[in-house]
Structures are given as C-alpha cells and as structure tokens.
C-alpha cells in the first residue's frame, strides 16, 4: 500500500510535464510531415519545369551494382574485355579474337615468353655485357612469334649488318668481341648503324648487341647503362667507323689475340628469347620472309616436329655469287644464276662437300614454291661426315666448343661431330636458301690462318674427341 501511495503522488506531481512533452513530440512529427510533402512538391515542380524535354532514361541514373569476391573479379575482366560475360543480356557479347600463329605455336611448343635485360656477367674467361643495347621490338617478342638469327664478329663486320637486318626483319642476337680500345670503335659503329643508314630503323627494331672482352683487356671506360650507351657520340657525316679499317691497328691485332669465334656464337645463342634460332654467319643472307615461312611450315608439319622424339635441325642450302652480282630474292632467280655460272654452291672452290646438301641436284631442279617444305633428311655420316651445314634449331643442340678459334679453322666441325654422335637428323628445307656476300672464295695457301691449324687439329684429336666420346657415345661413322 505504501508503494502505491508513493507512485500516485509522483504521477500527480509530474503529470503536467508528461502532457506537455507528448504535445511537443506530436507537433514535431506533424511539422516534419508537412516539410517532406512541401519538398516533394517543389522537386516535382522543378522537374516538370526544367526537365520536361529530357528523356527519362537519361535523367534517372542506372542503379549501381555492387559485386564482391570472384564475382567482382569476373566483372573486372569483362570490363577489360579479357573474358566474355556469362549473361549476354547484361553486357554486349565480346567476339573472341582468333589466336595468332605465334600464340598457336606457343601452346604447341610449350615455351615461355621472356624479356631481354642488361646483364654484366663473367662468362668463362670474359666479361660479358649481355643485351647491352637492345632491339626495341626484339626485347618483347613472344617465344614463338618469330626466329632469332644469332651471329658474331668484331666491329669490322658491321658492313654486312644493314643488308642482313633488312633481309631478315626479325630479331638478331649479335655478339661482338671488343677488347681494349676496340670497345670504343664498337660503340661508335653501333651508333652509326642505328642512326645513319637507310636501314637504321630495322637495326634499331631488331638487333640486340652483346659485347665481351677478357678481364686482362678491359676498355678504359664503358657506359654503365643502355641509356648511357645510347648517348655515345656519332657523326653521320663522317665515314662509317667500321669501313676500311687497318686491322693492324686494332687492339686485338696489336696484342696478338686470336678471335674466339665459338665464344661469340654461344653468347649469341644463349641470349635469345625465342624458341627457334638460326645460328649463322653475319655474311650469309637468307631468302626474304624466312622466319614466317618456317613457322608456318612447323605448324603444318607438327606431327613431324612435335610428335617425333628424334633429335633434328632444319638445314638451309648455301650458295655464293660473283662479286658483281646481286643477291637473289627468290629460288627462281638463284637457279637462273646457277645456270649462268653467276652462282655456285658455297665453298665449291675450297671444300665442296663441306656444304653441299643431300640431293643437291634434285633440290635445284625442284619447282619454286611459296611455302617451305621438308625436302630430304640425312645424318652427318658417310659422304657427309665433313658436313658443316647451317640450320634452324630449337637451341637444344650441343654448344660450340670454345677452346678453338677462328684462326685454327674446324670450329664448326666439332659441334657437328657431337651431333653425329647424338644421331641428329638434318632436314633440308625447300625452297629456302642462303647466299654469302658477293664474291667467290678461293683457297689461299698464304693465309696466316694456316699456321694455327696443326695445333688446333692436335687439340681436337688428342683432347676434344676423347671427351666427346665419353659424353655423347661412340660411332665409327662420325668424324671431325
């Protein structure tokens, strides 16, 4: 009873305050209701007055969709046009692009793309500036998009580079021996061919230069980066620094250095970013459009190349032409030059069997075509046991032995010996061909190179051949 009495007294005391609070709250709600209706009326008036001519779909923004997780990732791919949307009613259906030849071959060959980057490394007995100056297109081609031609030389070989690059129009990996102050002439020559010639655009696009020298014969100064190297001065009005060079004044000659040709060959080979390579000499000019024709041939003959486990390379016949002749563009032109004796098989006056392909006469008489085909196949045995073919490969064949030099000759035969022991097949391509820079070669009995030959032959017979038999097996049909 006491609690009830107390509660009644509090209610009697506070009742006016409660009534006043309730009255104020109700008034606030009535005010907000009238304010909202007035706002809507005003907005409707504005819309009807100012926007009566605007399309309703344009005036009202589309609702914003919010996605999370995998759904969000899928929508982002659709926005970037990387995948086709699942519901064609939501987004316009995207047409899937037809894969390129390079993309199709990449899948078949299972190769990986990679870029070319500058490296300064110790390579055997040499310092190597790999990818010192890169071809702008070559640096990012896909692994199966094209073929890289690999070659080597010193700066005096640059006179062959412009025509070769224009003819090839695909990546070229060029290793240059540049000891001492030959390094300066090398950079000057690189700048000249990149900027001062009709073919300079091709060279900037495709040629990647690697420079190597012994640690005992360093240049006095070498630019630290590619960007700095490209600031090396050049003068397009002056004579090309690689022309009419007195070889007796070269650092290599003054210091009685031999040319490590196989070091350059291997550097060029190991520095590529394509699956297929063509290891060649810089003075050998291929038929035009050879990279594309070869890749198309590989796709057409995938059962021959991809499914057969035999080791193989793809040989290209080589010819030379008279000094006053133009390098032929087609096999039809080449055959006519053979008929008129303006062209002959390569080294016919020195070692005919070293470069003559199997079924040579049949190859010459076969009709010219617009596609490459596998014309014949043989091994480096029998009458071909001294063969020194030039070929396109997957870059998996044995490296060139770096203990021999250009001066001592036989530098390619050692690799051919290893490939014979491994039972490589040599497929001859038709109608592909190579032509040496104009001028017929003859044997020179007074050549200074002949003094190096006995020591090289002794090294091969007593050291290299026994090593190769242990590493690659034996075969009495194989010779160096």
Chain segment 57-80, per-residue pLDDT in tens: 444 444 444 444 444 445 544 554
Q: Are both 272 and 335 inside the same structural domain? A: no
Residue 223 and residue 232 in contact, taking contact as beta carbons nearer than 8 Å:
yes
Residues 314 and 247 in one domain: no
DSSP string of 7-28? HHHHHHHHHHHHHHHHHHHHHH
For residue 380 the two structure tokens come to 């480096």
- 441 and 317 within one domain: yes
Phi and psi at residue 175, in whole multiples of 5°? -95, 130
For residues 259 and 309, membership in a common domain is answered with no
Identify the segments of the chain with pLDDT beneath 70. 1-96, 307-308
Do 362 and 384 share a domain, yes or no? yes
Query: Can you tell me the distance from the alpha carbon of 351 to that of 381, in angstroms, rounded to the nearest whole number?
Result: 16
- Residue 41, domain member (yes or no): no
Tokens (6 digits) for 254: 């003054």
Q: In total, how many domains does the chain have? A: 2
- Per-residue model confidence (pLDDT) at position 83: 44
Task: Examine residue 223 and state whether it is found in any structural domain, yes or no.
Answer: yes
Query: Is 54 among the domain residues?
Result: no
The answer to whether residue 46 sits within a structural domain is no
Is 134 inside any structural domain?
Answer: yes
The predicted model scores a pTM of: 0.80
pLDDT of residue 352: 83
Which of 230, 263, 282 corresponds to the end of one domain?
282
Q: Which residues contact 375 (CB under 8 A, 6 or more apart)?
A: 359, 362, 363, 366, 427, 428, 429, 430
Q: What pLDDT does 80 receive?
A: 46
Q: Which class for 105: exposed (0-12), middle (13-18), buried (19 or more C-beta within 10 A)?
A: buried
Give the bridge partners for 135, in sequence order: none
Among 237, 256, 282, which residue terminates a domain?
Answer: 282
By the 8 A CB rule, do 384 and 358 touch?
A: yes
User: Considering the domain boundaries, does residue 91 fall inside one?
Assistant: no
Same domain, 273 and 397: no
One domain for residues 343 and 375 = yes
CB 204, CB 241: distance < 8 Å: no
Provide the Cα torsion 428, 434, 435, 436; round to 10°.
Answer: -100
Expressed as residue numbers, the domain containing 476 is: 287-480
Q: Is the domain of 440 the same as that of 357?
A: yes
Residues 366, 475 within the same domain: yes
In this prediction, residue 11 carries a pLDDT of 52
Regarding whether 214 and 146 lie in a shared domain, the answer is yes
Determine phi and psi for 327, rounding to 5 degrees: -70, 125
Same domain? For 271 and 361 the reply is: no
Distance CA 417, CA 394 (A): 18
148 and 228: one domain?
yes
């Amino acid at each position: 009873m006491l609690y009830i009495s107390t509660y009644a007294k509090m209610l009697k005391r506070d009742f006016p305050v409660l009534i006043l609070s309730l009255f104020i709250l109700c008034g606030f709600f009535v005010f907000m209701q009238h304010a909202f209706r007035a706002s809507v009326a005003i907005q409707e008036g504005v819309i009807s007055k100012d926007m009566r001519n605007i399309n309703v779909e344009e005036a009202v923004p589309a609702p914003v969709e919010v996605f999370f997780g995998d759904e969000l990732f899928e929508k982002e791919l659709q926005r970037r046009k990387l995948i086709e949307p699942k519901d064609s009613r939501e987004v316009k259906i995207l047409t899937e692009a037809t894969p390129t030849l390079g993309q199709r071959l990449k899948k078949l060959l299972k190769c990986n793309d990679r870029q070319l980057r500058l490296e300064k490394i110790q390579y055997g007995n040499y310092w190597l500036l790999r990818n010192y100056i890169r071809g702008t297109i070559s640096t990012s081609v896909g692994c199966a998009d094209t073929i890289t031609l690999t070659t080597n030389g010193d700066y005096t070989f640059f006179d062959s580079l412009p025509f070769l690059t224009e003819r090839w129009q695909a990546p070229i990996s060029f290793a240059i021996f540049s000891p001492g102050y030959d390094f300066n002439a090398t950079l000057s020559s690189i700048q000249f061919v990149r900027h001062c010639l009709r073919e300079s655009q091709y060279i900037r696009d495709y040629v990647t230069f690697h420079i190597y020298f012994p640690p005992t014969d360093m240049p006095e100064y070498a630019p630290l980066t590619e960007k700095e190297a490209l600031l090396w001065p050049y003068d397009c009005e002056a004579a090309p620094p690689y022309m009419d060079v007195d070889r007796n004044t070269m650092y290599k000659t003054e210091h009685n250095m031999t040319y490590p040709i196989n070091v350059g060959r291997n550097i060029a080979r190991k520095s590529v970013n394509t699956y297929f390579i063509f290891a060649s000499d810089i003075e050998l000019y291929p038929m035009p459009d050879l990279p594309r024709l070869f890749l198309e041939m590989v796709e057409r003959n995938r059962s021959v190349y991809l499914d057969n486990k035999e080791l193989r390379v793809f040989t290209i016949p080589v010819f030379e032409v008279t000094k006053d002749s133009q390098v032929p563009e087609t096999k039809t032109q080449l055959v006519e030059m053979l008929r008129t004796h303006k062209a002959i098989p390569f080294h016919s006056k020195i070692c005919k069997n070293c470069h003559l392909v199997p079924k040579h006469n049949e190859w010459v008489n076969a009709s010219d075509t617009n596609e490459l085909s596998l014309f014949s196949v043989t091994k480096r045995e029998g009458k071909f046991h001294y063969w020194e073919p030039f070929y396109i490969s997957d870059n998996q064949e044995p490296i060139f032995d770096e203990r021999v030099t250009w001066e001592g000759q036989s530098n390619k035969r050692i690799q051919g010996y290893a490939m014979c022991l491994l039972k490589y097949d040599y497929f001859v391509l038709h109608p592909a061909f190579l032509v040496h820079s104009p001028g017929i070669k003859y044997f020179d009995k007074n050549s200074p190179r002949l003094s190096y030959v006995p020591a090289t032959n002794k090294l091969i017979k007593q050291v290299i051949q026994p090593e190769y038999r242990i590493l690659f097996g034996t075969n009495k049909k194989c010779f160096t």
